[in-house]
Amino acid sequence: MPSRDLRSALAELADIDHAAKLMAWDQQTKMPAGGAQERGEAMATIERIAHELLTDEALGELLETAGEEDAAIARVMRRDRDRAVRVPSELAADLARAAAEGATAWQRARAESDFAAFAPYLERNVELCRRYAACFPESEHPYDALLDRHEPEMTTAEVRSVFGRLREGLVPLIETLTARSAPPQLTASFPAAEQRALALEMLRALGFDDEHWRLDKTVHPFLAAIAPTDVRVTTRFAEDSLAGIFGTLHEMGHGLYERQVDPALARTMVGTGVSSGVHESQSRLWENLVGRGEPFWRHWLPRAQARFPEALGAISLDEFLRAVNAVRPSLIRVEADEATYSLHIILRFELEVALVEGTLAVRDLPEAWNARTRELLGIEVPDDAHGVLQDVHWASGTIGYFPTYALGNLIGGQLWERAHTDIPDLDERIGAGELAPLREWLGQHVHRHGAKFTSAELLQRTVGGPIAVGPFLSYLKGKLSQVYGLEL
């Protein structure tokens, strides 16, 4: 029974991945700091074992002879395996080591806003990423191979084209809104315990239960799906804003994707989200398209007011929506609003492509960053800590990931439009506090398939076409017109 053998091999890989994910979750939520070095060693060993199993020749043969019922699974695995085999294990080890060293150097450099101290590490990461890209000489563009690690089968040319249209739509919109005075921010204090209680109430409405979920504190929030039956949201509540509430909805969006994968795909390595872009579509959809919308707060604002009577007692729904949807070009990506966010991504995409192409040198990066921030967002970068040093991605060797955040916005817009067609009273349901209809729709059309289809195939099945800019821009214009009370 070759099908049985293939399933065993995939289950073994999935089990190792289970251990790796638990180790990573624990590292960021529970592990005493003193355990860091041994954890790093143990994680590296587990990674290495997984890589050896994936590149094992016997698995290759099993994949070649996979039967009909395992065809979809075998296709994805064959692809992952073929790519893993192409990268010499020395290079893989160098990439991992340079990533760890780079992340440590970055923390110091950011604290002191000292790009020069960080530059050698970034040069090393760029160099290694170029060597990684060179393992795939058939690619049209060297950045293709890096992008493919996070958004399989998407190309640099496609992203360029999509981002061009996105920028064209966003820039005039943001200019119009920036010309008007920005809505007042929420400046009150929101006790963390109350934020947690409110967030948990929202998560439960979304499908969180104690049988399969956890909510823990961390410094940089993330979602860990140890298994489809064991999904862990992490979060951080700062008392000066409600950002933690939106962050929690974001991670829950990732979590629902993993939780709702077809149980038949469990322990096959395709029982997980298909790509970073589709994953971000889920998190950003719940955070923004649902979570910053009028229907959502129609239900939840009275509940928030009961928990924060001083801060929100006197606010109207309109005022609240203006505050949480204010468009203001700003320096820091993770604090950016829904409209300007994608411009932060476009900037990073352009610069990392140039680094990989070799048309931009690392030493010239800060200047390029500041100039492009001026052009795209119209603001001045005061120092590198608030500019080129703000994100950990490049420091940890993650080149090729940034685009997926903006692709997620676009896919989210497409799914949102389609869900409204399929569920005509969707807004009314959300306004009544019912989040299950959308969750179930996403489960049916996106989540259950796991990684069985490529992102492109999934989009074709679900929205009937490729990734597109229109739905996200229409959604954004519609919402902001309403919030700002003007025709955009």
266 contacts its own copies (rule: CB under 8 A): yes
Given a contact cutoff of 8 angstroms between Cβ atoms, the answer to whether 100 and 40 are in contact is: yes
41 contacts its own copies (rule: CB under 8 A): yes
212 contacts its own copies (rule: CB under 8 A): yes
Q: Please, which residue, 231 or 331, has the CB nearer to its own copies?
A: 231
Per residue, the 3-state secondary structure of 317-364, as one string, reads: HHHHHHHHCCCCCCCCHHHCCCCCHHHHHHHHHHHHHHHHHCCCCHHH
Which residues are part of the catalytic machinery? 251
Strand partners, 235: 217
List 2, 3, 5, 19, residue binding its own copies (CB under 8 A):
19
* Window of 8-16, 129-137, 359-367, 405-413 that interacts with its own copies by CB under 8 A: 8-16
98 contacts its own copies (rule: CB under 8 A): no
Q: Please, which residue, 43 or 91, has the CB nearer to its own copies?
A: 43
- Burial readout 244-266 (b: 16 or more C-beta within 10 A, e: otherwise): bbbbbbbbbbbbbbbbbbbeebb
Shortest Cβ distance from residue 350 to its own copies (Å)?
Answer: 40
Residues near 19 by beta carbon (within 8 Å), at least 6 away in sequence: 46
Shortest Cβ distance from residue 282 to its own copies (Å)?
Answer: 20
State the Cα angle at 282 between 222 and 172, rounded to 5°: 105
Helix (H, G, I), strand (E, B) or coil at 31: coil
List 45, 65, 89, 104, residue binding its own copies (CB under 8 A):
45
List 140, 210, 264, 316, residue binding its own copies (CB under 8 A):
210
- Full DSSP string of 182-201: PPPPP-S---HHHHHHHHHH
425 contacts its own copies (rule: CB under 8 A): no
215 contacts its own copies (rule: CB under 8 A): no
Shortest Cβ distance from residue 271 to its own copies (Å)?
Answer: 10
Within 13 Å, how many C-alpha atoms sit on residue 263's CB side? 2
39 contacts its own copies (rule: CB under 8 A): yes
DSSP class of 289: I
Shortest Cβ distance from residue 42 to its own copies (Å)?
Answer: 4
424 contacts its own copies (rule: CB under 8 A): no
464 contacts its own copies (rule: CB under 8 A): no
Given a contact cutoff of 8 angstroms between Cβ atoms, the answer to whether 462 and 446 are in contact is: yes
Taking CB atoms within 8 Å and a gap of at least 24, the contacts of 39-45 are 40/100, 44/96
18 contacts its own copies (rule: CB under 8 A): yes
227 contacts its own copies (rule: CB under 8 A): yes
- The whole-angstrom separation of Cα 302 and Cα 312 is 9
Q: Where on the chain is the footprint of its own copies (CB under 8 A)?
A: 11-12, 14-16, 18-19, 22-23, 26, 30-35, 37-39, 41-42, 44-46, 49, 210-214, 226-231, 266-267
